Amino acid sequence: MLVTTKYLNSDLLMAPTKIVCVLRNYLEHAKELNSPVPEKVKFFLKPPSSLLANEGTVIIPDSVGSLHHEVELAVLIGKRGRFIPEDEVKDHVLAYTIMLDMTARDLQSNAKKAGLPWTEAKGYDTFAPFGPRAYPPGEFDWHDKRIWLDVNGERRQEGNTDEMLFSVERIISEVSEVMTIEPGDIFCTGTPPGVGAVRSGDKITAGIDGMEPLTVTVQ
């Protein structure tokens, strides 16, 4: 079964039951948000309805005053599992791709202050652009890859996947202790520093070395 929303036209993925996003997995990003570094993997979920295909349009809702970009390495799951040891995670990985975790920063900040969940800030339709290609493990090694994002041709974010505080294997293993992972599920592994606001009319281009870049526009 493929993902089908009015914003998505792609056969890149099977329908995920969930999109798992890791918090503050790059030290410098934690610093720029003045947030503590977690001692173990912490995560939240985005709904599958937030997915947006490459060359799509990210829509800024009227209720959002500040929409931020966050580029991430995404891991696609191909095999069901629970309590997966780190050394067996590779058997559950289908492929890798690029994803943007678009975030309504003002809504997120207000939710944090009130001690409320972030779901609204992360979960609007079009807030999870992905693609354009998926790369199986035999074609892509996630280690030591430059990860970057440009807005209107200007570099905003840049880092290296080796700077992640928690590895792909540890992320999936620890999350599988909490919930069963299913084929089609997506793991977003955190964003490097440089997150910032985008506005209507902006063009976002995001890349990871060895992958075809992801491009979306903002409306």
**CATH code where residue 192 lies:** 3.90.850.10
Summarize the chain as % helix, strand, coil (round to 5): 20, 35, 45
Domain contains 98: yes
What is the pLDDT tens value at each position of the chain, 219 positions in all?
344 444 444 545 557 999 999 998 998 887 887 778 888 999 999 999 999 999 999 999 999 999 999 999 999 999 999 999 999 999 999 999 999 999 999 999 999 999 999 999 999 999 999 999 999 999 999 999 999 999 999 999 999 999 999 999 999 999 999 999 999 999 999 999 999 999 999 999 999 999 999 999 999
Domain contains 9: no
Q: Are β-strands 57-58 and 214-218 bridged in parallel, bridged antiparallel, or unpaired?
A: parallel
Count of domains forming the chain = 1
> By three-state DSSP, how is residue 184 classified?
coil
Give the tokens for residue 42.
């912490």
Say what the pLDDT of residue 14 is: 57
Helix (H) or strand (E) holding 26: none
Domain contains 176: yes
Domain contains 14: no
Backbone angles phi, psi at 161, to 5 degrees: -60, -25
Domain contains 28: yes
Domain contains 11: no
The domain of 149 spans: 19-218
Domain contains 82: yes
Domain contains 1: no
Say what the pLDDT of residue 33 is: 72
Prediction pTM value:
0.92
Say what the pLDDT of residue 15 is: 78
